[in-house]
Amino acid sequence: MRYCTLADLKLAVPERTLIELTNDTTTDYGAPAPTTINTDIVESSVRQAEEIVDAHLRGRYNLPLSPVPTVIKDVTVNLARHWLYARRPEGAALPDTVSQTFKASMHMLEKIRDNKLTIGDPSGPATPEPGEMKVRARRRQFDADLLERF
Where is 122: in which H helix or E strand? none
Angle at 143 between CA 138 and CA 149, to 5 degrees: 150
Q: What is the pTM of this model?
A: 0.75
Cα dihedral 13, 17, 20, 21 in deg (nearest 10): -30
Q: Which amino acid is present at 26?
A: T
pLDDT digit string (tens) for the chain, length 150 residues: 789 999 999 999 999 999 989 988 766 677 777 889 999 999 999 999 999 999 999 888 888 888 899 999 999 999 999 999 998 766 667 889 999 999 999 999 999 999 898 887 655 555 555 667 777 888 877 777 776 766
- Considering only CA atoms, which of 50, 56, 49, 42 is closest in space to residue 7? 42
